[in-house]
Amino acid sequence: MPFKLNNRYSIRQIIRSGGFLFLQVALFSTLSFAQTNLKDEQMPLDERGKYIHYEVVEAKQIPADSLRSRASAFLKMKKLSAVKITADRIAANGKFLISKTAFVLTRPSGEVSYNFVFEIKEGKYRFWISDFVFILYKRDRYANFVPSTNKGTPLENDPGKLSGTEWDSYISATTAQSSLFAAGFKDFLASEKKIVVQPKVKASVSTKNW
């Protein structure tokens, strides 16, 4: 009995097979391109092997005391903690919220704590953001996103249970957040707006009660 080729069936199968192969190739290419871009968007490492955002900025027209006052005001505005101020240096701790978007919905994936250091020299200043530590979020019983642990993972360490691509996305997100923070910081220090320091009110002495 001669074999008859079903033309419609054969063409449909070929299209389906080819379409599936095309989707596989396209998906693989997209993932590879995305992963390459994530690698390109990551911060450099410092001499300790830790990710760092580091900049030196010329500021010849701004007095050192104005730079210090503006830097202090900016950190206060951003609600950084453990702020320590000396004549030529300010150190503080901060935190970035890392979010993920899926199906048009955005939810927090975790948080990244960091150290911020600002130093002044004659005619210039430098600052860096480093010592990034990531803490993954989870949902609690009330459906709120909360830290899953008290001890985070440094960004330069092995992500452990998390996939490499996912971890790279956290590093890229931290890189973007650091760049935005740095741009805002530089703009604030370059602004001509004067920082008004309110004088301390001296407490009065009462002799009525003792």
Question: Within 13 A of 73's CA, how many CA atoms are on the CB side?
Answer: 19
- Whether the CB-CB separation of 165 and 35 falls below 8 Å is answered with yes
Question: What pLDDT score was predicted for residue 192?
Answer: 66
The reply to whether the predicted model has a pTM over 0.75 is no
Residues of the chain scoring pLDDT < 70: 1-40, 101-105, 161-162, 192-210
Query: In sequence order, what are the residues at sequence separation of 6 or more whose Cβ sits closer than 8 angstroms to the Cβ of residue 93?
Result: 80, 81, 82, 113, 114, 115, 116
Q: Which of 174, 164, 16 is nearest to 97 (CA)?
A: 174
CA distance 32 to 34: 5
- Contact residues for 84 (Cβ-Cβ < 8 A; gap 6+): 90, 91, 92
Q: How many angstroms separate the CA atoms of 120 and 133, rounded?
A: 26
% residues pLDDT > 90 (the chain): 54
The whole-number pLDDT of residue 203 equals: 53
Q: Quick one: which of 72, 90, 88, 84 has its CA closest to 121?
A: 88
Would you state the structure tokens that stand for residue 14, as one six-digit string?
């070929």
Pairing of strands 124-139, 105-121: antiparallel
pLDDT digits (tens, 9 = 90+) for 50-85: 999 999 999 999 999 999 999 999 999 999 999 999
